[in-house]
Structure 1
Amino acid sequence: MFIHVNHAEYIEEYKVRLFFNDGATGIIDLSSELYGEIFEPLKNIAFFKSFKLEGHTLAWSNGADFAPEFLREHIG
């Protein structure tokens, strides 16, 4: 089965509640993942909150995204 993010809700700071197509749900804290040129802009909370679901995962207008498998493995 291919993992897809079906829905995402901003919680606080760099935390997002994720709902997956396999029924899993949980919160991920991405604060420790925001390094490197493409992810640096996400340190701005207003920009971080602007994510959309694109290609079955979280994505931002600057081209940043996270693989849905990575997100699924790291939800708490």
Structure 2
Amino acid sequence: MYIIDDVCYAGEKTQNIKVKEAKVLRGGMLLLTFSTEEQRLFDTTLLKGSAFEPLKDEKVLEDFNIFHGVMTWMNGDIDIAPETMYADSYPYTAQSASIAVG
């Protein structure tokens, strides 16, 4: 448990992570740069639920904004928390680069 601004939260306090940059790669992959300066790969094809269906369209996926460290699409109708994107992504390495790009 932790407290921020007199509000009590359950669980462990997580790092305040934000998306700084993003690049759409082939196959629904995103190359993300986080506020930690880490680069990680996020697979949008694994997103479940009707809210994320529009992201299957490559043109929609490519038309994103980063608003206060959060990736958004369709004028903010779709967003994914940066903490989720970080937790559900994996480190970007030379080996993963050849898989995602090549």
Which ranges of structure 2 fall in alignment gaps of 5 or more residues? 1-14, 91-102
**TM-score (ref. length: structure 1):** 0.86
Aligned to 1:6: 20
Structure 1: distance between partners of 2:28 and 2:49:
13
Larger-Rg structure:
2
CA contact (8 A) 1:6 1:20 kept: yes
Between Structure 1 and Structure 2, the one with more helix by share is 2
| Greater Cα shift, 8-17 or 53-62 | 53-62
Deviations 1:10-69 (A, max 9, x none): 111210100011122111111010522x21111111111111111312110251010000
**Kept after mapping to 2: 8 A contact 1:52/1:58:** yes
In the alignment, structure 1 segments of 5+ residues that lack a partner are none
Amino acid at match of 1:10: V
Higher relative contact order (CA 8 A, sep 6+): 1
1:15 is matched with which residue? Answer: 29
